[in-house]
Structure 1
Amino acid sequence: MSEPDERLFFLLQRAAHQLRTAADRRCLAAAGVTTAQLGALFAVDGEPGVTQRGLARTLGLRESAVTGLVARLTGAGLIAKRAHPSEHRAVVLELTAEGAAALRAARPEVDRFNEELRALLGEQGFSRTAAALYQLAHWEG
């Protein structure tokens, strides 16, 4: 039997790609959005009145990346922009009815996906993996 592969960064990259591809396929089929778009919709829903800068911070992305993401979401009618009440150059992002419907449509698929990962890893393995990934996502390396 061969030794387990211990190239952790490589394995994380492969796993992330595999999971993103599978989740994108499922979210597109269920709700017509990618996981990146879904993450933005969840963030806008969870933080009413968020600006693009705040969304970038929440998602851990550069503002330039969020500008394109927001443009695609507004173009698809999933979020709307309105003037910020006190910052004249900023806009506030809000879910549209279509955006809220996409979230409702995606939730059961996200839940199924997580349940499949729980079954694969076991409850303890799932919790440990989630905790470790949270630490890695916030690591200042």
Structure 2
Amino acid sequence: MPEPDQRLFFLLQQAAHRLRVAADRRCLAAAGITTAQLGALFAVREGGLTQRALAARLGQRESAVTAMVTRLSDAGLLCRRAHPSEHRAVVLELTRAGEEALARVTPEIEEFNARLRAVLGEDGFRHTAEAVGLLASREW
């Protein structure tokens, strides 16, 4: 039997790609959005985010988030409101269509997580989520 692959970074990258493709397929079918857009919508739903704050929350460049916000706004899922205290900034808000998109995609994400739990077991799922969360929160 061959030794387990010790290239953790490669394995994480491969798993992330396969999981993202599968999750994108589900999200696109359910609500016409990608998982990246879903993450942005979930973050905006928490309230009070500017595009700069959204970029920081998602760990992306502001230019990439600006393009994503434009696409989500053009699709009617987000709107921009004047910031109450920063005259050049805008606050992002979900529209009714954005809330409906989240409602349509939520069962798909729950089913996807259930499939992950079936593969990893409940303890494995929890430990993996904690470990990946730790990796995602560090500055490298």
TM-score when normalising by structure 2: 0.98
2:80 aligns with 81
How many residue pairs were aligned? Answer: 140
The one-letter code of the counterpart of 2:109 is V
| Structure 1 residue 49: Cα displacement | 2.0
1:11 matched to 2:24? The reply is no
* Mapped partners of 1:70, 1:52: distance in 2: 8
- Deviation per residue, 1:38-64 (Å, 9 max, x gap): 000000001x12110111111111111
% same residue: 67
* Mapped partners of 1:140, 1:58: distance in 2: 13
Could you list the structure 1 runs, at least 4 aligned residues long, displaced by more than 4 angstroms after superposition: none
| Structure 1 residue 139: Cα displacement | 1.8
What residue ranges of structure 2 are gaps of 5+ in the alignment?
Answer: none
1:53 aligns with 52
What residue ranges of structure 1 are gaps of 5+ in the alignment?
Answer: none
- Deviation per residue, 1:78-130 (Å, 9 max, x gap): 00001111111100100001000000001000000000000000111111100
- 1:1-141 pair list within 5 angstroms: 1-46=1-46, 48-141=47-140
The RMSD of aligned alpha carbons is 0.7
* Mapped partners of 1:136, 1:84: distance in 2: 33
The one-letter code of the counterpart of 1:101 is E
* Mapped partners of 1:112, 1:6: distance in 2: 30
* Mapped partners of 1:24, 1:104: distance in 2: 16
TM-score when normalising by structure 1: 0.97
